[in-house]
Amino acid sequence: MSLLTDQALQIAPGYRLQWESAQNMFVLLYPEGLIELNQSSAEILQMCNGSNTQADIIQALEIKFETTGLENDIVNFLNIALDNGWLTQQT
Amino acid sequence: MAGSHNKLSPPRWLLAELTYSCPLQCPYCSNPLDYAQLSSELSTDDWKRVLKQSREMGAVQLGFSGGEPLVRKDLVELVDYSHELGYYTNLITSGYNMDEAKIIALKEAGLDHIQISLQASSKELNDFIAGTESFEHKKETAKLIKKHGYPMVLCVVLHRQNIHQMKDILDMAIELGADFVELANTQYYGWAHHNRDQLMPSQEQLQNAEVIAKEYQASQQGRMKIYYVVPDYYEGRPKACMNGWGTTFLTIAPDGLALPCHSARQLPNFDCPSVRDHSISDIWNTSTAFNYFRGNDWMKEPCKSCPEKEKDFGGCHCQAFLLTGDAKNADPVCDLSPQHHTVTDAIEQASKTSQTGEKALLFRNTKNSKLFNH
């Protein structure tokens, strides 16, 4: 599945993004599995709320972290997340 | 970090084996052979205490298993409570006796996912292996699970008697709308160990099955995820058992015993603690059983000086015990183990059994379990 630039991103059905205070980190939960997320992955996934597109996410995170040039990293991560089935896009 | 003494990681995975009761009689069941003599089941309140304490420790993935967890009258109540605590709740079931009302009730209680097992792709073989007529009913249940919007894992345990159905099994998974398929080669513990000669496939059967699994993995990419669990008897290196002893997994057995892995009960003089007497935090942090194989200090050669010891932690201790009599030996699946011949002998023995006519399978039921009372 390739990333569609004009389509909103959301966490796939059956997957759940959740803050775990015991471990002080976000995790992505799915049937019989979990992925422990580093800070940047967690920041991106939190933006995948069903209304943000790739461009929205890049813009929001660049503003939040007062930086530029995040596009490559974010697009790479979104592609990996789509390939792994963590995210979906409406078509 | 896995295997490190200094920094204890919290449990992330709680396996709640609610009961040893099961309407099926699969001869590869991983439950203990002598389950019929184990003492009474935990109460609903006991389970709630375990769930709460484990969640506070950090457990977040929760599997309700057994036996058949649907047998417990309080299943919906326990799912509801677990969902409130923030667990991702998985029901690991045969699907037998699961009607639409129960599927809906569990959904309303917050159940996140259902794993349903089938024993084969044909009615005749499924019902033979299950020891119970269940094939059509299970398939209907699988369709209802999807109808109500659950993600569904279809689990099929593979062995010599069904591995030739690989392609049909995968076509069936597609037909049923499975999101994930777990094709798990039998692991030889409990009843499966007892029936090993009749269950172990040949190398050739495995190779054929693996080719088919790979084809479907490619063609189903993006639709259905296929996990193919390799049989460790044919691997040169052991599995990294439980992701490292006491690092990730916590199993609570029906009678309240806390186990670092679901086979650990059989290890001699191991004294696994009970949740009836101890808190989860005491069990995880200070019990002898959970600390026994943490770190590397327990290791003997060839593990002690092995460059791969941080990768597989010496393999499976229960398997080392079953095949060599000493849980501290290297898992004999490893071809560096001086006892590796126990594995190759077992393969040869199973091959002979398949050529000279099958010994009868011993089915997993209470009557047969009582044969193992001591």
Residues B137-153 pLDDT 10s? 999 999 999 999 999 99
Taking an 8 Å cut-off on Cβ atoms, the answer to whether B222 and A22 are in contact is no
Predicted confidence (pLDDT) at residue A91 exceeds the cutoff of 70 = no
Vertex B66: Cα angle to B62 and B70 (nearest 5): 90
- Residue B5 confidence (pLDDT): 47
What are the structure tokens assigned to B166, written together?
A: 């690989």
* Contact call for B58 and A20, based on CB within 8 A: yes
- Interface membership of A80 toward B (CB under 8 Å): no
Is B177 in contact with B224 (CB distance < 8 Å)?
no
The beta-carbon neighbor of B88 closest among A1, A29, A85 is A29
Instruction: Report chain B residues whose CB lies below 8 A from the CB of A23.
Output: 10, 12, 58
Instruction: Say if residue B226's pLDDT is above 80.
Output: yes
Q: Is B60 within 8 Å of A27 when comparing Cβ atoms?
A: yes
Residues B83, B35: contact at Cβ < 8 Å?
no
**Amino acid B221: pLDDT:** 87
- Domain positions in chain A: 12-85
Q: Are the C-beta atoms of A7 and A89 separated by less than 8 Å?
A: yes
Q: Does B186 touch chain A (CB under 8 A)?
A: no
> Tokens 């594995």, residue?
B343
Query: Within an 8 Å CB–CB cutoff, is residue A91 touching chain B?
Result: no
Question: In chain A, whose CA is at the least distance from the CA of B146?
Answer: A14
Q: How far B151 CA sits from the closest chain A CA (Å)?
A: 6
- Residue B344 Cα, gap to closest chain A Cα (Å): 32
Report residue B293 as tokens. 């194989």
The pLDDT score that the predictor gives to residue A63 is 97
Mean pLDDT of chain A: 94
Strand B258-259, strand B249-252: pairing: antiparallel
For B81-110, write each residue's pLDDT tens digit. 999 999 999 999 999 999 999 999 999 999
For residue B39, what pLDDT is reported?
75
Residues of B with Cβ-Cβ distance to A79 under 8 angstroms:
none
pLDDT score for B4: 42
Of the candidates B10, B113, B222, which has its C-beta nearest A31's C-beta? B113
Q: Looking at the predicted structure, is the pLDDT value of residue A46 above 70?
A: yes
Q: A70-79, B84-93, B232-241, B351-360: which range is least confident on average?
A: B351-360
Helix (H) or strand (E) holding A73: helix A71-83
Q: Which residues of B touch A1 (CB under 8 A)?
A: 222
Residue B231's pLDDT band (boundaries 50, 70, 90)?
confident
CA dist B6 → B33, B249, B294, B339 (Å): 37, 18, 10, 32
Cβ-proximal residues to B168 (8 Å cutoff; 6+ apart), any chain: B121, B122
A13 Cα to chain B: minimum distance (Å): 8
* Per-residue model confidence as pLDDT tens digits over B161-202: 999 999 999 999 999 999 999 999 999 999 999 999 999 999
Residues of A in contact with B12 (CB under 8 A): 23, 34
Q: Strand A87-89 relative to strand A9-11: parallel, antiparallel, unpaired?
A: antiparallel
Which of A30, A34, A79 is best to mutate for the B interface (most B CBs within 10 A)? A30
- The domain A12-85: what is its CATH number? 1.10.10.1150
Are B191 and B31 within 8 A, CB to CB?
Answer: yes
Q: What is the mean pLDDT of chain B?
A: 94
Contacts 24+ apart (CB under 8 A), B262-270: B262/B15, B262/B17, B262/B30, B263/B30, B263/B189, B263/B190, B263/B318, B264/B289, B264/B317, B264/B318, B265/B32, B266/B32, B266/B189, B266/B318, B266/B321, B266/B322, B267/B317, B267/B318, B267/B321, B267/B327, B268/B321
Closest chain B CA to residue A21: B58
Q: What is the pLDDT of residue B2?
A: 43
* For residues A14-38, average pLDDT: 95
pLDDT for B301 beyond 80: yes
Secondary element (H or E) of residue B88: strand B88-93
Decide: pTM greater than 0.90. Answer: yes
Amino acid at the residue A27 = V
The answer to which of B31-40, B50-59, B78-87 has the lowest mean pLDDT is: B31-40
Q: Do B56 and A22 touch (CB under 8 A)?
A: yes
B192 closest CA partner among B70, B340, B56, B28: B28
Interface contact B65, partner A, CB < 8 A: no
B88, A30: Cβ pair inside 8 Å? yes
Q: Do B149 and A33 touch (CB under 8 A)?
A: no
> Percentage of chain B surpassing pLDDT 90?
89
